[in-house]
Amino acid sequence: MIKVRVAQCWDDGVFTDIRLTEILKKHKAKATFNLCSGLTSDESVPIRWMGADEINPPTVNTFYSGRVCKDRMMEVYGDFEVASHCDLHENAKTTDPNAFLESAMKSRRFLEDFFQKDCRGFAWPFGTYTDETAKLLTDAGFAYGRTTENTDDVLSYTDPLKLASNCHFMNRLFWKKYQLAKETCGVFYFWGHSYEMADFDPYWKNFEAMIAYISNDPEAEWINVVDIVK
């Protein structure tokens, strides 16, 4: 008996998504990738650690997440849902609303043309939104807009363009929230950036164990994010 339907999404189209999608495919897990059309690269930019002398102002060493090149985008993301994350990851609170809408639509048009499928999902860059931009995206036909806000009841939204998730994938209460979703609304939704695991194998092993557990849970079923609002 299915007690919880599980959705996940990942932001920014970074090089570490290659490793991420290999794990998801292995365990037959659905996911949505939120991509910025203007940040796609003609050549893959691999991950690396930047030294303190490359950072302004210099601080500690920083992980550079890289980019998936256009030639590999179909290989990496073709089996998954994709969603607009704006053209250049613009902030809705500091960008003219009409310019923001055009950026969101530019990414949507690029993704629909590239993958030859509908792209009605959206994820707010930086998690920020305004009532005006939410209304503009609704009128433009976007089905939802994921924020970075948390909720214990994903289905309690009043505006799908202000959609909250249960938690970030590294939330220490992840499994508690997962179990609560089983007992209440029946939908569990998490998100993240694959670069947050960097190249630390323990993080990746823990993540794969998490995905495998959900995939093997007879009470769980993977869905796409857009299915939450259908």
**Where do we find the tokens 């919880």?**
4
pLDDT at 54: 54
- The mean per-residue pLDDT over the stretch 165-190 comes to 98
Q: Which helix (H) or strand (E) segment is 148 a member of? A: strand 146-150
- The mean per-residue pLDDT over the stretch 156-171 comes to 98
pLDDT at 60: 43
Res 61 pLDDT > 90:
no
Res 221 pLDDT > 70:
yes
pLDDT at 59: 42
With vertex at residue 115, the alpha carbon angle to CA 110 and CA 119, rounded to the nearest 5 degrees, is 65
Higher local confidence (pLDDT), 21 or 60? 21
- What are the residue ranges spanned by the domains of the chain? 4-38+72-228
pLDDT digits (tens, 9 = 90+) for 17-51: 999 999 999 999 999 999 999 999 887 777 777 76
Res 52 pLDDT > 90:
no
Which superfamily does CATH assign the domain made up of 4-38+72-228 to? Answer: Glycoside hydrolase/deacetylase (3.20.20.370)
Distance in angstroms (rounded) separating the CA atoms of residues 84 and 36: 6
Distance in angstroms (rounded) separating the CA atoms of residues 36 and 104: 9
| pTM for the full predicted model | 0.94
Higher local confidence (pLDDT), 56 or 205? 205
Cis peptide bond N-terminal to 57, omega within 30: yes
